[in-house]
Amino acid sequence: MNMRDKDFKSAPGGAANAGERNIAPATHSSHAMTSSGPASGASLPHESARAQVAGAATYVDDIAEVRGTLHAAPILSTVAHGRLLSVDTVAALAMPGVHGVVLSGDIPGDPMLATFVHDEPVFARDKVEHVGQVIGVVVADTVMQARRAARKVQAKIAPLPPVLSPRDAHARKSYVLPPVTVRRGEPEAALARSRHTLEGQLEVGGQEHFYLEGQVAYALPLEQGQWHIHSSTQHPGEVQHWVAHALGLENNAVTVECRRMGGGFGGKETQAGHMAVWAALAARKFKRPVKLRLDRDDDFMITGKRHPFAYDWQVGFDDSGLVTGLKLTMLADCGFSADLSGPVADRAVFHTDNAYFLSHVEIASYRCKTNTQSHTAFRGFGGPQGVIVIEAILGDIARHLALDPLDVRMRNLYGVEDRNITHYQMKVEDNILQPLMAQLERTSNYRQRRAAIAAWNTRSPVIKRGIAFTPVKFGISFTATFFNQAGALVHVYTDGSVQVNHGGTEMGQGLNTKVAQVVADELGVPFERVRSTAADTSKVPNASATAASSGTDLNGRAAQFAARNVKDNLASFVSGLDGCGAGAVTFRGGQVISPKATRSFDEVVKAAYANRIQLWSDGFYRTPKIHYDKTTLTGRPFYYFAYGAACSEVAIDTLTGESRLLKVDILHDAGTPINPAIDIGQIEGGFIQGVGWLTTEQLVWNDQGTLMTHAPSTYKIPATGDVPEHFRIELWPEANREDNVGGSKAVGEPPFMLAISVWEALREAVAAARVAARSGSANPEPVRMPAPATAENVLAAITPDIRALR
């Protein structure tokens, strides 16, 4: 039976009319885009929007190629695990346009990539460890010549048994890093005295980044052993370091530039470095510029994904659903090398509590080595894999006790005066969970809709509905404390125009727009007078990755400080002219105002230049208050928390397992937004990307270790038809309680985890179907359904007999 639109659109007990789509913040008014008002707080257009719509925004592959540019394509392993015996390149070298092949023997520097763990080779040498591992590159006159020739290379590999699942790796004690355990209280004793206990397992799949612009790098050799690398990367500084390391050079010989990316999502935090290194090695060997752009299939086969996780848990609780003890084992599938798996797995441990106080808890985290791609950063960076397991446990508790899951969640929330210390010993000082959730409960009509859905399910034999309400508490800062720093440059030119450069990278998230808004307001000039330029390691050195949702927090503050230095120079100059204190000079609306005179900003700048006043400055910022012990995973790893909640309603077809998302209501804490429209766009996009992770985006490796879902034909990301007509987003009306730029809060990652409400709503619908199948009798078995909730997995969860046959 196919899904019937009439069954899926007539939502019972809705908070608003079907078809309503309100994505404007109810609690913030937007300024009109004028030159007179403040820039911050206004929903100004993305700084590249017009160029992008016109097709005039330049990405790496759009850069005009230097004469003589060659193209590289990767040679891939077809075996998941084996000894690399030889590489036969004869057939490839005979192909038209081919200049040659680059293998591990052509590396002048370290044959291992400059990763923290130093465990990943630039090119496979004596062994291969996953299907798709790069053995070398073929270099030719054109992209297609290089790709065709790469497929002619014959690698002789003696196969070895592969390890393809985290449970198998754990059984073999195959790890990329040592295990970590965090413990508080006495969980064994707490479990023994708990009134109720449950135990279970959960399997959660990974996720392909599926950035619109694939991985690409363009390496240009310059004079005197210098290099210029154009890279689609979230971390130009790391690409610089990796390229220099492979070429055997100092960092100052390599400049890396990135004007923008066509999406990143974490997939270009470390793994963009591979393309740059491979292109640079080819350029060095052939003494010509070389571009390497992966096609989509190769991108899938080579690059890492969101880490799949497996869990085993035992929980104790009382009659109200209060958790009294928890023991949890987390098995992170890291792939064949460490990459960023250590901090990803750490953040999963940090976010296992999500919004809830855990009094007696033990979390054992294992970083498992498998013969798959080396999994890497992805939006949320392990946080989603921590949050989903505690939400699944609370959902099981609620169904076991026949309680409303929202009541169980509210019962377990962190407190304000007590019950406010995390399991990693950080005090939760900015807790707004209870009032935020209470407000969304009212505005979404959650209670009425839950009752209406229960009534619907009693009379609908095939289509079952579910509703769920889940919160998020997400820590903001890099867990690697030293990354929490940023630099920026602000230049004021003699015509009064302003240029800002910072260490962050633009990947469509609006970072450059927000930074320009902050600088405009600091100097009191119209937003249109400020231009953001490309991230460039020769301008701001040693910059951290644009990741951990901290791009605006770090780079916006650094740029604000740089602009403030210039403003202070100008204020001192004007105070000398007018005989007043510098503090009496203000900048707003394009004017500089003292107690004696009002001048245009442009006029003051010209006069200051004539008087040899410095009109540029740097700015530096490091996040305060943070510290933690990476051995014990205790301390204060986060500057603050971002909060939110979502109420999602779904329907499933019990005959096919097909599901549909019907309604979403979100209330999210973005502090005082610098740009409300951009923030809402991040909430919207993050949520839908999370829905994809938990419903349709299934990564499938066969028993030989080959990724079978390596193209849009087999790997399904959400499309416009998957976005519900009722999709309401509102912003919580309170500034960040910490001293953050503009009173704002990070918004890139936290909304992603709100999509867990969809996963939990699907489990509610499955539970309703299973109760109906048993003629309304209570169902003692918890809902066991792996993520993503594909039609196959939903159907198997409804009918355990089907699951047993799989």
Residues labelled catalytic = 749
Q: Are 695 and 673 in contact (CB under 8 A)?
A: no
Q: Where are the beta strands (DSSP E) in 259-411?
A: 290-293, 309-317, 323-333, 361-368
Q: Please, which residues bridge with residue 627 across strands?
A: 636
Alpha-carbon gap, residue 740 to 639, rounded angstroms: 9
Q: How many residues does the chain have?
A: 806
Query: 796: left (phi > 0), else alpha (psi -120 to 50), else beta?
Result: alpha
Find the DSSP H helices in 151-251.
166-171, 187-193, 236-247
Which residue type does 593 have?
A: I
Distance CA 503, CA 753 (A): 27
Q: In the block, which residue shows the tokens 């910072």?
A: 502
The CA distance from 265 to 705, in Å, is 25
Kindly state the tokens that stand for 460. 């609908």
What gap in Å lies between CA 505 and CA 355, rounded to an integer? 31
Measure the CA–CA gap between 343 and 270, rounded to whole angstroms.
Answer: 13
Task: From 474, 480, 501, 482, select the one nearest 490 (Cα to Cα).
Answer: 501
Contact 185/363 with Cβ under 8 angstroms? Answer: no
Q: Where are the alpha helices (DSSP H) in 184-308?
A: 187-193, 236-247, 272-286, 296-302
CA atoms of 591 and 8, how far apart (whole Å): 57
Q: Is the CB of residue 151 less than 8 Å from the CB of residue 101?
A: no
623 touches 640 (CB < 8 A):
no
> How many of the other CB atoms lie within 10 Å of CB of 28?
18
Sign of CA dihedral 41, 689, 407, 447: positive
Question: Which spans in 66-179 are helix H?
Answer: 90-93, 143-150, 166-171
Can you say how many angstroms the Cα of residue 559 is from the centroid of all Cα atoms in its chain? 23
Cβ neighbour number for residue 109 with a 10 Å cutoff: 18
Helix (H, G, I), strand (E, B) or coil at 252: helix
Query: What are the structure tokens assigned to 613, written together?
Result: 């006043």
CA distance 363 to 384: 16
